[in-house]
Amino acid sequence: MLKKLLALAVLAAGLSFAQGPVYELRTYTAPEGKLDALIARFRDRTIPIFNRLHMESVGYWVPSDGPQAKNTLIYILKHPSRAEADKNWRAFLADEEWKKVVAETEKDGPLATKVDRVYMDATAFSKLK
């Protein structure tokens, strides 16, 4: 009986996180000298595609200190759920306009050499929910 109650509690806790929005923290590392081009691509080309595909931008940042200030772009997206995030990224990567943007902006090499991603659930005391 205790095992069943514990399993139900774990399941209920998991469902409570899955019902709210999920935030996605992404950190891009650009090759030397390409951060400005990466930022321009996001500002001018990527964000409009995100908007069309219902990928909500929360914000975009560059570090203000240290070596990362020269090569790092950090941003957060908000998705209704993790399943929607996965669906949105599949649609984004298959998008013909995005494929053209990549071909045009990376003809002289990639604008990012490393991409890190973390999915996050807001805590009950967070202003973002």
∠ Cα 55 60 65 (to 5°): 155
Q: Structure tokens of 111?
A: 């604008």
| Beta strands 56-61; 22-29: pairing state | unpaired
pLDDT tens, position by position, 86-118: 999 999 999 999 999 999 999 999 999 999 999
* Residue 68 DSSP label: G
Q: What is the pLDDT of residue 58?
A: 97
Q: What is the pLDDT of residue 20?
A: 81
- Contact indicator for 49, 56 with CB cutoff of 8 Å: no
* Ranges in the chain, pLDDT < 50: 1-18
Q: Give the closest residue to 39 by CA, choosing from 112, 119, 92.
A: 112
Query: Would you list the domain boundaries of the chain?
Result: 20-121
Q: What CATH number matches the domain at 20-121, 2.40.30.10, 3.30.2130.10, 3.30.70.100, 3.30.300.30?
A: 3.30.70.100
Q: What is the pLDDT of residue 121?
A: 95
Q: What is the pLDDT of residue 26?
A: 98
Sole residue written with tokens 């080309």: 45
Cβ of 111: how many Cβ atoms within 10 Å?
21
- Contact indicator for 17, 126 with CB cutoff of 8 Å: no
